[in-house]
Amino acid sequence: MTHNKLLSILLASFLLIGFTGQSGEAGNPDLVQIDEGFSQYVRLWWQMQELPTDEAVIAWNDANIQNLNTQTWSSGNGFASAMYSRIFFQVAQVNEFLRQTTEQKLAERDIATTIRQKVPRWRAEARFLRALSYWHAVDLFGGVPLVTEEDPIGDGTGETAPEMSTRQELFDFVESELQAITGSDGDEVLPPAGMAEYARADKAAAWMVLAKLYLNAEVYVGESRYDDAVTVTNEIISAYGASASALESDYHDLFLADNHTAKGVIFAVPSDGERSKNFGNTTYLVNASIGEAMVADSFGVPAGGWAGPTPARCTRT
């Protein structure tokens, strides 16, 4: 296994957050139980977070999405099950990357020393992605199976299916993983805040997930962790600098098409109209929110919007 192949497997794990399949916006999808356009990670995450609240509603009824508006979904809801599948598809990819990049595997394949020196950081990045997805599981589903690279791969019979873990066990796992890859001990540590390549994780990204985990700890595990949330948030502020020059002068600039140059984006999901075509990410957030009576051209969408999500107290015409 070459340097390029190892790196491509890692990058593929990052791309799973932004892409839906292997052939652009349609064709050879990652998930098969739902329309590929609906299956994009960010799109699913946004819908599961927003539509059951009083913040947004959606006019469509694809795959029982209205059940999210009315808080009447079940395990058979297409979007809830697709989000669950997205989480575990990501976890499975990361687990396999970690299995294939142990010191023993690298030695067996005679991987060059110069490449092997880079692998610990790659493994830290992979562990971040897994922790991120497991935090999504903690937040949305509570208890789910906890599967790592140490577990056997299923044989399809169900006999090797992992046992269900409690929300507390998942919480502890996510916390310990994020602490490990942001610490100072060991080789599998993320780069300092602001020092990672664009769209790859650094310590600030992991601290932010930790902050969100702690902020909601009373709901997740019945324990107040607000002080810990403040502590890790201050780590981010300290790393980036609290001065105005460390942030964009206009907050809205963070949401423009050229925001890959913006200051203050902690962890980006790449999205453009040429190399990451799909019906999720910002394509969904922009297009879907434009109603029929809105001037779509003024939002950079000359073909017209999709008349989908809207603020819950807004009447669209």
All domains of the chain in start order, with CATH: 3-311 (1.25.40.390)
Q: What pairs with residue 56 in β-bridges? A: 311
The residue with greater pLDDT, 22 or 277, is: 277
CB 256 within 8 A of CB 300: no
CB 271 within 8 A of CB 253: no
The confidence score (pLDDT) of residue 4 equals: 65
CA atoms within 13 A on the CB side of 234: 6
**Separation between Cα atoms, residue 12 and residue 9, nearest integer Å:** 5
Confidence (pTM): 0.89
Q: What pairs with residue 29 in β-bridges? A: 21
Q: Is 193 left (phi over 0), alpha (psi -120 to 50) or beta?
A: beta
Which pLDDT band, with edges at 50, 70 and 90, does 157 fall under?
low
The residue with greater pLDDT, 172 or 8, is: 172
The residue with greater pLDDT, 270 or 219, is: 219
> Shortest CA distance to 45 belongs to which of 101, 103, 84, 98?
84
3-state secondary structure of 91: helix
Instruction: Please provide the DSSP assignment of 193-229 as one string.
Output: TT-SPTTS--HHHHHHHHHHHHHTHHHHHS---HHHH
The confidence score (pLDDT) of residue 35 equals: 75
The confidence score (pLDDT) of residue 263 equals: 84
Q: What is the pLDDT of residues 267-288, one digit of tens each?
A: 888 877 777 777 777 787 888 8
Q: What's the count of helices (H) and strands (E) in the chain, helices before strands?
A: 12, 2
Across the range 214-229, mean pLDDT stands at 98
Residue 36 burial by CB count (10 A; 0-12/13-18/19+): exposed, middle or buried?
A: buried
Question: Which amino acid does the sequence have at 232?
Answer: V
The confidence score (pLDDT) of residue 16 equals: 65
Between helix 226-240 and helix 203-215 the angle, nearest 10°, is 160
Q: What is the pLDDT of residues 177-195, one digit of tens each?
A: 999 999 988 889 999 998 8
**Separation between Cα atoms, residue 304 and residue 295, nearest integer Å:** 8
E strands present in the chain: 56-58, 309-311
